[in-house]
């Protein structure tokens, strides 16, 4: 667990896995931008010991880069591989061919992959990505909207066109990366008063995405939400170079928000099922 500067004190991998298990998380994401494959493989016994699920965040630039990650996914029994493709094709046609090739290879290997909405990757631009989704109907996303909020320099309230583009992204989300941003900052402190309008906006986006996912998901599908709060330079620092908030505590706050949304959606659906017979009876008798 990267403690950054002034956030939660540094801990070992063993301590981090125990903290995550005790906090009630279902799994941990391996970030291959911060660790090579050999180092990442050393955590396999910890996943098994703590009975935690696994997601792999990978940054391939080619099929050759991706193949060992797919093999790793097998060995870790990963729920999914989250692809931040280090390629920015010059056209949607070119990008769609690459995405389809990678999806086909993952299918052949029996591994679920999702493409993260991320700057400096194949999904770098919001408008471009919506076009790519039209070109590749089976392309699934891991949605981190913070990148598009910064990339487009969004301001609130969003325009109708901006909201429509975001909803096209949410319609393909099989996973979410939890971070709150503004048009100027990639990662805001969750409890600062001046950031609350953005907290409300992101909570609304996540709830919309959850609702869309639940409408199309089958019984055995899994929706992934990573409370992904990164160290500096994502995390803002003061003049002393120290972080301005505790990211571990913020992760727990975000976790509780998301669980509350999820519970509320389940309750709403249950109530609708219970009410349905009375509604049908009333309709028949009228």
Q: What is the DSSP letter of 28?
A: E
Residues linked to residue 224 through DSSP beta bridges, in sequence order? 175
Residues linked to residue 115 through DSSP beta bridges, in sequence order? 83, 141
Pick from 213, 111, 117: nearest CA to 166: 117
The length of the chain is 286
Q: How far, in Å, CA of 5 to CA of 104, rounded? A: 42
The pLDDT confidence band at residue 35, using thresholds 50, 70 and 90, is confident
The pLDDT confidence band at residue 282, using thresholds 50, 70 and 90, is very low
The pLDDT of residue 219 is 85
Q: Is the pLDDT of residue 286 over 50?
A: no
What are the domain boundaries of the chain?
A: 13-285
Give Cα separations from 26 to 21, 216, 223, 266, 284 (angstroms): 7, 22, 11, 18, 45
The pLDDT confidence band at residue 5, using thresholds 50, 70 and 90, is low
CATH architecture of 13-285: Alpha-Beta Barrel (3.20)
- pLDDT tens digit sequence for 146-159: 999 999 999 999 99
């Amino acid at each position: 667990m990267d403690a950054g500067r002034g956030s939660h004190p540094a801990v070992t991998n063993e301590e981090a896995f125990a903290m995550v298990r005790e906090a009630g998380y279902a799994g941990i994401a391996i970030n291959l931008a911060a660790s090579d494959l050999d180092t990442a493989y050393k955590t396999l016994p910890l996943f098994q010991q703590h009975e935690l699920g696994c997601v792999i965040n990978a940054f391939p630039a080619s099929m050759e880069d991706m193949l060992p990650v797919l093999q790793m996914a097998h060995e870790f029994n990963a729920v999914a591989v989250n692809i931040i493709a280090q390629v920015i094709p010059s056209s949607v046609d070119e990008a769609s061919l690459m995405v389809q090739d990678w999806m086909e290879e993952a299918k052949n290997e029996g591994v679920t992959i999702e493409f993260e909405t991320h700057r400096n990757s194949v999904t770098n631009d919001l408008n471009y990505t919506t076009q790519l989704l039209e070109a590749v109907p089976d392309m699934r996303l891991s949605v981190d909207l913070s990148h598009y909020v910064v990339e487009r320099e969004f301001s609130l309230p969003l325009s109708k066109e901006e909201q429509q583009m975001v909803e096209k992204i949410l319609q393909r989300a099989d996973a979410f990366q939890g971070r709150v941003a503004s048009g100027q900052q990639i990662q805001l402190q969750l409890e600062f008063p001046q950031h609350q309008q953005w907290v409300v906006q992101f909570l609304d986006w996540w709830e919309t995405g959850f609702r869309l996912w639940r409408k199309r998901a089958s019984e055995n599908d899994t929706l992934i939400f990573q409370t992904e709060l990164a160290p500096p330079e994502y995390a803002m620092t003061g003049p002393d170079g120290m972080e301005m908030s505790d990211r571990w505590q913020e992760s727990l706050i975000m976790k509780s928000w998301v669980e509350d949304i999820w519970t509320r959606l389940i309750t709403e659906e249950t109530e609708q099922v219970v009410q349905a017979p009375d509604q049908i009876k009333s309709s028949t008798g009228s």
